[in-house]
Amino acid sequence: MKVHRNRTIDLVLAGRAGIDLNTTKIGCNFSDIPSFTKSVGGSPANIVQGAARLGLRTGFLGKIAHDGMGEYILKTFQEQGIDTDGIVLDYSNARNCIAVTEIISPEESGGYTTEKEKFHHGTYLYRGSTTDILYAPEEVNEKMIASSAAVMLSGTAFSQSPSREAMFEILRLARKHETVTVLDIDYRPFGWKSQTETAECYAKAIAQCDIVIGNREEFDAVEYLSMPNNKDNEKSAKALLEQGVSLVIVKDGPRGSAGYTADGSVTRCGIIPTKAVKTFGSGDAYAAGLMYGILREDNLEYAMQLGTACASIALTTISCGDSMPDFPAAEAHRDAHVEEMKV
């Protein structure tokens, strides 16, 4: 895997950028939340904001609505120095993806006694026929891809057309311009027709990627057809490395993360014990820190440690995009816990 570090953009993200409405009160049901704050969200949007705050030169490829929310997304990105030339405006009256957050533990959800009485609590995601799904192959900005050292694609963007075809066009253009391709598996069941469709599509995408990042549950979705019931992270990684992937990152919860490379080496990183306010957004922060370490330091151990530090910090705040740390904060947190991460 050759990284062209002399390009004008370090990292481009591709996929959804939407709106997060974040609860302002922790530990209460949705009906009792007094108000919400807004931020730009969606996994790729969170990662690009995190990477920009760490100091990477960043850009975004995708589609947003031509409305007030779309204007807010553009403004927020531009204020952070994120190149928005690859963002296309949609005039069809489709809306941006919206996520409404509720932060509550099962113990705090009302003490319901039977399954029938229980309510589901968590993030409320609205993503039916949203603008990001309408992003088409002919709208992909080739110049941005050619100007970038790496491009990271969100697996969720492959779930429906025409976004799926746009992602494959990005992979094609990245290969043409020798831009490193990164897949954040980002598997979410909604949008996919079946587990078979999911596994087949991921297999086709992975065959064109240099780096693949995912957690254990996401690799289970990837392996639905090829290795059903496999829970061996090393076996999962080896299968992808044999297909031509150069680096596989497996995030495995309290067991930390492991990086497997084509030369057979394994780099492991433990977690930083953290009193978490929420559980979501940490994977996006990890990806931002990981890519900083790979693109700026060319050091996998450091990259995984910085990613872990970013994830730890992100867990301690209510929002996602706004919770991404800057480099001094991330580096200081890594330095303070570097011994804990050595396994």
Contacts of 26 (CB under 8 A, 6+ apart): 103, 104, 277, 318
- Report the amino acid identity of residue 198: T
Range from 54-58, 252-256, 334-338 carrying the lowest mean pLDDT: 252-256
User: Can you read off the two tokens belonging to residue 322?
Assistant: 């706004």
CA dihedral 333, 336, 339, 341 (to 10 degrees): -20
CA distance 229 to 341: 29
Contacts of 332 (CB under 8 A, 6+ apart): none
Residues 187-228: tens digit of each pLDDT: 998 889 999 999 999 999 999 999 999 999 999 999 999 999
Residues 296-311: tens digit of each pLDDT: 998 999 999 999 999 9
Count of Cβ atoms closer than 10 Å to residue 281 Cβ: 26
The pLDDT assigned to 117 comes to 42
Task: Give the mean model confidence (pLDDT) for residues 221-250.
Answer: 95
36 strand-pairing partners: 23
Helix (H, G, I), strand (E, B) or coil at 11: strand
Q: How confident is the model at residue 121 (pLDDT cuts 50, 70, 90)?
A: low
CA distance 166 to 138: 8
Q: What percent of the chain has pLDDT over 90?
A: 80
Q: What angle do CA 332, 337, 342 make, to 5 degrees?
A: 130
In whole numbers, what is the pLDDT of the chain averaged over residues? Answer: 92
Residue with tokens 């816990």: 337
Q: How confident is the model at residue 138 (pLDDT cuts 50, 70, 90)?
A: very high
- Greatest mean pLDDT range, 106-115, 242-251, 269-278: 242-251
- Report the amino acid identity of residue 268: R
Q: 234 pLDDT exceeds 80? A: yes
Helix (H, G, I), strand (E, B) or coil at 63: strand
DSSP class per residue in 132-156? GGG--GGG--HHHHHTEEEEEEEGG
The pLDDT assigned to 110 comes to 47
Q: Are strands 98-100 and 124-126 parallel, antiparallel or unpaired?
A: antiparallel
The pLDDT assigned to 246 comes to 97
The pLDDT assigned to 118 comes to 47
Residue with tokens 């790979």: 294
Buried b (16+ CB within 10 A) or exposed e, 119-147: eebebebebeebbbbbbebebbbeebbbb
The pLDDT assigned to 132 comes to 96
Task: Give the mean model confidence (pLDDT) for residues 239-243.
Answer: 95
Buried b (16+ CB within 10 A) or exposed e, 24-39: eeeeeeeeebeeeebb
The pLDDT assigned to 308 comes to 97
59 strand-pairing partners: 12, 83
Q: What is the DSSP letter of 32?
A: G
Task: Give the mean model confidence (pLDDT) for residues 105-112.
Answer: 47
Q: Which domains does the chain carry?
A: 9-15+43-93+134-341 (3.40.1190.20)
Task: Give the mean model confidence (pLDDT) for residues 57-75.
Answer: 98
Peptide bond into 162 cis (omega under 30): yes
CA distance 102 to 222: 29
Q: 251 pLDDT exceeds 90? A: yes
Q: 315 pLDDT exceeds 60? A: yes
Contact assessment for residue 248 and residue 210, using Cβ atoms and an 8 Å cutoff: no
